[in-house]
Each structure stands twice: as C-alpha cells, then as structure tokens.
Structure 1
Amino acid sequence: MHQKRHHKKSNPLVPLTVVFILMILVGLEIYLLFFNNNTALLSQKHEKNSTVRTGQQTTKLTNDAQQVKNFNQEVQPTSNLAKQLNQKLEDGQFIGTALMIKNGQIILQKGFGYANFEKKQPNTYQSLFQIGSIQKSMTATLILQQVQSGKLSLDETLERFYPNIQDSQEITIRQLLSMCSGLYQKSKPETMMTDEAFLQYGISNAIMGTYGKFRYDATNYYLLVGILEQLTGTSYHTLFNQTFIQKLQLSHTCFYNDFLHSNERTFPYEKKEDNNYKTKVADKPILFNREIGTGSIGMTVGDLYLFFSHFLSGSMINKNTFDSFWTPKTLEKFAGGIYMYQDYIRAHGVEEGFETNSYISKDKQNAVILFTNQYPKNQSYTLLGKEVFDLLVT
C-alpha cells in the first residue's frame, strides 16, 4: 500500500522578495559605482587645480630663486656687444664692479681693479659698495607702501607728524619725497650717536629756506623716516630688513656697521697723479651713520638690480600708487630717490669715495649698473654709464 505524499504548497511571495532584494542590491551597486566615479572625478579635478596653483606658485618661487641665483656668478663678456662695452669701461679706466643686462640676459657681471689695493684683493661680482643716495629710493618705497595701505596720503601735510616745524601745515608728503619742501639742515652732528639721536638731531635742526623750491637736502628724508616710525611703531632698521633684505632675498645688502666688518667690502681710493690708488679714503663712520634712510647701505650690483626689478614690476608698489606719484610733471626730475625718464630710470649716489650709477629700462629688460670705489674729484662715472647704456639699448 502506497503512502500518500503530501506536497507543501509554495509561497508565491518568496520569489518576489528575492527579486526585490536583488533589485535593491543592483541599484545600490550602481549608485555606489556612480558616486565613487564622480568623487574620483571631483578629486582629480581638485588635485589638478591644486597642482596648477601649486605649480604656478612653485614656478614663481623658482623664477625668483633663479633670478637671485643668476646674480651669484661672474659673467665674462662673450658677445661682440659685451666685449665692446667691457672695452669702453677699460678705456675709461673704470674701477669697481659692473652689471649689464641685455634683453633680460646678463651679458656682463664682473669686477675691475682692486677692492683692497694693499692686499691685492680684486673687485668681483660679490664686492660690496656703499650706494649713497640710492637708498632714498628704498625709503620712498616704504613711504609709498604706507600710502598704498591707506595710512598716509601724498597730499597730507607734515603738521600731522611734526607740527613744530616751520610751515608744516603747508609741506606735503609729496614735497618731501621730491625735496621741494624748502627745508634744509642748518648743522650736522659731529659725534657718534644712536640712530634715534641722529634722526632727532636732523629733524630738530631743520629750517626753512624758500618754501616749495627744490633743494637737495637729506632733511626731507629724515622726516620721512620719522613718519614711517610713527606710522608703523617699528624702527627704520627693522622695516628695511623685513621689506627688502628678507622679502626680496637681498643676501648681499647690509647697513654700514655690518659693511665695515664684511670680507666682501671695498675700500675707496682717490686718484692722484695718474695713480688710481694714490690715496686711501679713511673710513668715517659718523658720515654714514648719520644718514638715516638716506645713505648708509652697502650692496652688490646684483642686489641693486633685484631691488629695482621688484620696484618696477609692481610687486612692492602697485601701478595706481606708482602713477599717482611719478607723473609726467616729475619726468627728468628728482622724485622718490630716482630720476624718471620716458623709457628708463636713473639712480645715482656719491659718498666718501664711492659712486653708484644705475640705468634700467622700465620693462627691466636692459640695465647698466656701475659701482666704483674710486671717485675722482671733479669727475664722475655718470657720463660713462649713460654712454654704455645708450650703446646697450641701441
């Protein structure tokens, strides 16, 4: 007798449930796949943008670093033009260090003669010279940065800072920068003092000549230094170090007291009886130290070019501020430590046996910088520098 089999009736919901679960899993997989792909794309895009930004920054840093590096080498003349200009300096019995740039390339950077004749130490591309009044262009830059930040106005008067100075209610910052205030110093200190004491001496001994008339006198820049210190609460020495030496990587730039102890310093000589090194000009620290903000800096030719390169590029002073001061009215006149021409700038300094001449095109592509530690009396290398610059840009 056969036993009767009983079949369990299947539940129709089971297959549907399985299908439903499978659909959820597939959908979840598709979602995750889509989400991950988009995340990856976004991540890649972000990385790409970050790389571009980083790359741009690196390129800029590399360019700045490379520019500094380029000046840390001697460049002998190899092109016909460089050889011609080198010969012109030799014919002019030039002693010092020269830098020449043509179309953005250094074609000559070398020394001529001796930095220390007694020790037969030659001038080189690393030699330090006193730049004299060219420092005024750096002080002017610091002032214009205050104008740019809105803390100062070019047409603001001296009365805000030094109300006791004669006609301070009429004298503007613009006039001080251009030495058109009429002020001059009736006497100069003859003994060593601190920087602050030198500065206060210069300011307290400022008297009025003819208001509004150009008169080349350091008093104008002593006052600008005092204004800087009032506005920032920082010493001029510190401001200079932070703004120029550190930010622009000017590793061959220093104040006078450091210059005296540098192995790369040059010694000035006076030419007599056709002897280029007849008389050694003695160091006179007081004459440099009292020139607060106006003439107490030692530099190499390369560092000076680096400063002016930033000065002209707008990285320190923006175009609006730059153009608000150097207007067509200031062309070929002293203003802000330089002489501005149509296509180039000129800067000049003379101090105790040192002379500096600088000619740089406004696009920074062409330059002639001559530093000398032999400043013959009644003679200057300014004309020689201009002749060389004219040949360079022709």
Structure 2
Amino acid sequence: MRKSIFLLAFLFSLTVSAQQKTRFDKIDSLLTFLNANNKFMGQVSIREGENSIFEKAYGYADVENSLKANGKTKYKIGSITKTFTAVMIMQLVEDKKLKLDTKLSKFYPKIKNADKITIHDLLHHRTGIIDYLNGDSTTNMYEEVSKEGMIAKIAAYESLFEPNSKFEYSNSNYYLLGRILEDVTKEDYNTNLLERIIKKAQLRNTSVSEKTDLTRNESYSYTFSDGKWALVPEWNMSQAFGAGHIYSTASDLTLFMSAVFNGTLVKKSSLDLMTKLEQSYGIGLMTFPFGERKYYGHTGGIEGFRSVVGYYPSDKVGVSLIVNGDNYNRNDIMIGILSIYYKMPYQFPNLVTFKVKPETLNSYQGVYATPNLPMKITIKVVNGELTAQATGQNSFALNPISANEFVFDPASIKMTFSGKNMTLKQGGSEFVFTKE
C-alpha cells in the first residue's frame, strides 16, 4: 500500500504517429498486446459523466485453473481504500458526529501525541505516527492481529515529528480512522461501507476483502517469474483494514469517484476540503497531472495487486486501472491509456529487452549535461535497472535493447552510451550529453 505517483510528467513531447483505429480499439489493442506478452493482467474502466464508455478485463482471476477474469471480477484495491474511508469520515463531519479538530486522545489516548493529533492530521498524513507497514520491520502481514493488538502496536511507536508540522504517508493513520468510524457509528466498517457508499453510489461489485473466494468472482494476484505467472500469497486483511482492505472493480471505482465529485456522497464544502492539498495530499486524495489536466484520485498496492483511479472534474472523466498480473510498470500503462484516449501520438512499447552486466550499468551512472539544452540528466541504477531523471522531472526506467542502448518507449526516447558521452534521440532530434 505504498504511496505512489502513477503519471509521469513527460520529459519531451510524444512524437510518434497515431494509428488508424478508434481510440478505444487502440486501448484494447495495447492492453491485449501487454497481456499476450505476459506483461499485464487486470481490468480497466473509462467513464464520461454517468456513462461507462470502455471497460474490459484481461487475463485470469485464477491462473492455475484457467479461470478468466471478466468485467465483474473483483480485485483488492489496496490504498484506494483510503479514499473510501476519508469519504465516510467526512460524512460524519457533515452529520456533526465528528469534527476535523477532534483530538485522537478522545478515542485512543495511549498513542504518542494523541492530545495533539487531530482528525484533520490523520486524514492528511500529518501525525508523525510510524507507518506500521513500511516503517516497522517486525510487521508480518500474514498474521491476524486484533483491533486491540494493532492499537497497542501503534501506541508503542515513538513519534517521528510534531503533529501537523509536515506530511509523511502512513497506513497507521487510516487504520485508526477506520476504527474511529466504527467507534462513532457503533457499526462495523463493512456496514458503514454498505450504507454510506455502496448503496448511495449504486456500486455493484465492492465489498470488504477477506480471503479470496473464487465463487464470489474474486481474483488472486500474480507476478511473472521463470517464464510463468506465480501466485502471490495472500495477506491477512485484519491489518490492512481501513487503510487497504476493500475489493472492487475498475468500473465501480470510476463510478465511486463520479459519486464523490457530483455530490452523491459528500457536500461541495466537504469536497472542497478533500481536494485542498497539503504537501501533495488532500483528504484521501492526491493529484495526477497529465499534460495540462489534473486528475484527482489515489493509487493502491497490496500483495501483487496494483491499482489506480483518477477523476478529471472539468470534463467529468474517470479512469481506473487494476492490475493483478504485475510484470510491467503501472505508470507506463496509464500513460498509454490516457495518451490514446486524448488522441495523442503513442507508440506501443518495445518488449524486447537485453541482459546488461551490472558492472556495465554502473559505469553509465552520473550526471550528464549538454550546452544545447537548459537541463541535466541524472543516470542511476535502481534495483538493477538503469533510470533517467531530467532536472525538475520524475525519474523513469530505461529498457536495454543492447549493452549500450536504452529506450523509454512511452516518450519514444533512445539513449546510447559511449565512453563519457550519452546520445539522446527523440523523433527527429538528437543531443549529445557529456558526463560531468
């Protein structure tokens, strides 16, 4: 359930020619291409206003038994659960059953700084409470942990910083918000989810996740290893809880986001607060830029599932991607989907790769500059992959096609290394950079 950003700001404009197909045919062709090459399994949905205009599933819910996924197959959505939790908390605020300045000490006084931490701070990840998932090496997500056990675990953490002094993403915050939701309403999370969101937004395939049940059209998750899809062991959802324990479909996620923004689930005054970012995070929402457009939404990751949902208010467009076969960068898939949707030129990725020796990769590391462009490019090896990052931009992974040639297909970039020089080509342009 790590926070992550799903849309890269392009280093350069895309330059390849559009194919002579409809944009939805192209999206389907892209995802079919990735699926056929064992790069992706999952589900996608695009919604315009109240209408679902494209939705489809690819691959299997159960590889071992060749059980194919369909549009109603449910997947674990990880941290997108946080947006559901945030909406229900804001409903309590609207109902005057909770205040944003209510202190955590009202519910769990033994947690460090509970008398300083507010509901606002929990919603915005500004508490200083350690992330039990990513910040605690003793956490075992395969174990069942009771509410009392989790609260005691969180209470034992020392504070990382003074509450509301800065942002730091922590699953602990939304675990606590899920429990506060139950404490205030005297109903369990599942009942709240059903009454406060599922029925109101008319979601048909959303529920609290426990252990995967294929008879309920729920899916397993996989990674690709040794030439085949390998099952990822399931976590115990008792710990994920309000931070990440919901099953849903891509179609339900775009419908949910539409309901958030059209007033079905929260008032405009609440939505205004939710979309007000404090150091990149609002109330259960973050933003994803795509060109001049700004999508609101969330990402998720749990077991082998990877998910994202975004909503662009100006055009009332929602898009969601859920991955249960993880063998390709989710960001790059989303770039492809949105590029095609907005009729931007897009080139299908080159899935041919080359094995480069670690010592060769390491020799390319450094900062490269050219007198012809007002930026520098930093080349690093991250987790065995060569990455590039231009000044002021996000980094992206490079795919090797030879020992010294690397490409980034979504932007039609090719980099060739020779001694201290790196030649960058894109479209008809070519620049020679030199390592400083």
Shift in Å, 1:293? 0.6
Instruction: Report the Cα distance in structure 1 between the residues aligned to 2:272 and 2:295, rounded to whole angstroms.
Output: 15
In the other structure, the counterpart of 2:201 is 248
Shift in Å, 1:253? 1.6
Contact 2:309 2:318 in 1 (8 A): yes
Shift in Å, 1:259? 4.0
Q: Deviations over 1:7-46 (max 9, x none)?
A: xxxxxxxxxxxxxxxxxxxxxxxxxxxxxxxxxxxxxxxx
Q: Unaligned regions of 5+ residues in structure 2, if any? A: 1-19, 344-436
Shift in Å, 1:243? 1.4
**2:298 alignment partner, one of 322, 347, 352:** 347
1:162 aligns with 2:108: yes
2:337 maps to amino acid: V
Shift in Å, 1:322? 1.9
1:147 aligns with 2:96: no
Q: Deviations over 1:77-114 (max 9, x none)?
A: x9711011222223444311111235654332111122
In the other structure, the counterpart of 1:119 is 65
Instruction: Report the Cα distance in structure 2 between the residues aligned to 1:163 and 1:206, rounded to whole angstroms.
Output: 13
- Structure 2 matches for 1:290-369, cutoff 5 A? 290-327=239-276, 329-330=277-278, 333-340=280-287, 343-363=294-314, 365-369=316-320
**1:239 alignment partner, one of 181, 192, 214:** 192
> Any idea what SS the aligned residue of 1:209 has?
coil
Contact 1:340 1:346 in 2 (8 A): yes
Q: Deviations over 1:360-387 (max 9, x none)?
A: 22257323211111123xx531232134
2:96 maps to amino acid: G
**2:31 alignment partner, one of 85, 89, 92:** 89
**1:264 alignment partner, one of 214, 217, 229:** 217
Q: Percent identity?
A: 25
Instruction: Report the Cα distance in structure 2 between the residues aligned to 1:79 and 1:102, rounded to whole angstroms.
Output: 20
Report the aligned-residue RMSD: 2.7
- Structure 2 matches for 1:22-41, cutoff 5 A? none
Q: Deviations over 1:53-78 (max 9, x none)?
A: xxxxxxxxxxxxxxxxxxxxxxxxx9
Contact 2:220 2:324 in 1 (8 A): yes
In the other structure, the counterpart of 1:221 is 174
Q: Unaligned regions of 5+ residues in structure 1, if any? A: 1-77
Contact 2:75 2:249 in 1 (8 A): yes
1:182 aligns with 2:154: no
In the other structure, the counterpart of 1:204 is 155
2:30 maps to amino acid: K
> Any idea what SS the aligned residue of 1:87 has?
helix
Question: Structure 1 residues 349, 181: closer, same or farther in 2, change over 3 A?
Answer: same
Instruction: Report the Cα distance in structure 1 between the residues aligned to 2:29 and 2:278, rounded to whole angstroms.
Output: 35
Shift in Å, 1:236? 2.0
Q: TM-score, normalized by length of structure 1? A: 0.71
Instruction: Report the Cα distance in structure 2 between the residues aligned to 1:189 and 1:381, rounded to whole angstroms.
Output: 26
> Any idea what SS the aligned residue of 1:86 has?
helix
Aligned length: 309
Q: TM-score, normalized by length of structure 2? A: 0.64
Q: When you count strand as a share of all residues, which structure comes out higher?
A: 2
